[in-house]
Amino acid sequence: MKAGRRRAAEASPQIAVSDERGVRYLHFGTVWVQGAMRLRRPWDIELDYLRHMMAWQLFVESAGEILQIGLGAASLAKYAWRRLPKARVVVVEIDPAVLAVARQQFGLPPEDDRLEIVIGDGGEYVGHPGNRGRFRVIQVDAYDAAADGPVLGGHDFYAACRRALGEPGVLVVNLFGMHASLDTHLAELEAVFDGRVKLLPPVDAGNVIALAFTGPPQELPWPALYERATAIEASQPLRATGWVNALRDRSRDGAGGLVV
């Protein structure tokens, strides 16, 4: 099947690593930041938009398999491996050079029974028939050196993601709010997931996180979501209550809860 929109494969970008004020940054040959790690807290998530990508925890349990498409500085993979002991993490990264830097400079742990690294095209991987219904969560953070919009998308790609999710399941996509591709990606997600898409507000850098849902539709009462957020905050360095506040502010659903 088609993997969706993807720029033609090229040689590995010029990967650069820089340190500033206690934070290590990953670049693909440009000033755009492709990942970051605070040196004193290497297991925590440094960038705001990546913290937003963990908001799926409000809706599904962390037990099961998480598919991460796009490794970057390995923030999400490391976090889930360290903080979510009932989860198994599968990372698909197209560029072996990115994997090497993640291991050498950003502390990506060796593979074990809870961490699997696949070098390949994320669109092809998620569309493999053997992955149908396999994952509880799919996180897509696939950008190239230009960083002007996701390199994966399109109806076929999002449909493959939906097929690869179990029920209930959540697809989490990092979109770029300051790029013309945003409306196109949102329309495609809405079409594939029958309108069951929620957005978190853009972070200062412009990233917008979209959450798309599978399984029987349900209305989640706001008190239950706040209770879940409080439980997340008790065990993880995440501002989960802020996710619920943001979803409530943006919600057009009934006052009683969030329909997903």
Residue 27 belongs to some domain of the structure: no
200 and 251: one domain?
no
Are 128 and 148 members of one domain? yes
Q: How far apart, in whole angstroms, are the C-alpha atoms of residue 104 and residue 90?
A: 19
Q: What pLDDT is recorded for position 250?
A: 86
Which residues are part of the catalytic machinery? Answer: 141
**In the chain, which ranges are continuous DSSP H helix?**
48-52, 75-83, 96-105, 122-126, 155-164, 181-192, 222-235, 240-250
Same domain, residue pair 213 and 224: no
Those residues whose C-beta lies under 8 Å from the C-beta of residue 129, and which sit 6 or more positions away, are none
**Rounded distance between C-alpha atoms, residue 242 and residue 147, angstroms:** 27
pLDDT number for residue 11: 42
Instruction: Based on the fold, state whether residues 208 and 228 are members of the same structural domain.
Output: no
122 domain residue, yes or no: yes
pLDDT at 6: 36
Q: For residue 186, what pLDDT is reported?
A: 93
Contacts of range 191-194, beta carbons closer than 8 Å, 24 or more positions apart: 191/155, 192/155, 192/158, 192/159, 192/161, 192/162, 193/158, 193/162
Same domain, residue pair 160 and 204: yes
| Co-location of 234 and 209 in the same domain | no
**32 assigned to some structural domain:** no
Instruction: State residue 254's pLDDT score.
Output: 58
| 256 part of a folded domain | yes
Same domain, 224 and 192: no
pLDDT in tens, the chain (260 residues): 333 333 333 445 689 999 999 999 998 877 678 899 999 999 999 999 999 999 999 999 999 999 999 999 999 999 999 999 999 999 999 999 999 999 999 999 999 999 999 999 999 999 999 999 999 999 999 864 444 556 688 899 999 999 999 999 999 999 976 567 788 999 999 999 999 999 999 999 889 999 999 999 999 999 999 999 999 999 999 999 999 999 999 887 657 899 99
pLDDT of residue 205: 85
> Within a domain: residue 152?
yes
* Complete edge-to-edge strand list for the sheet that includes strand 135-140: 115-119, 87-93, 64-69, 135-140, 165-176, 207-214, 197-199
Per the confidence metrics, is the pTM higher than 0.75? yes
86 & 188 share domain: yes
Task: Please report, as a single letter, which amino acid is at residue 117.
Answer: I
Residue 173 in any domain: the answer is yes
Residue numbers of the domain that contains 234: 219-260
Whether residues 247 and 190 fall in one domain = no
In a domain, 21, yes or no: no
Q: What does the pLDDT read at residue 32?
A: 77
Residues 251 and 186 in one domain: no
Please check whether residues 166 and 253 belong to one and the same domain. no
Asked whether residue 81 is domain-assigned, the answer is yes
Q: What is the CATH number of the domain that holds 61?
A: 3.40.50.150
Number of domains present in the structure of the chain: 2
Residues 72 and 57 in one domain: yes
| Residue 133, pLDDT score | 98
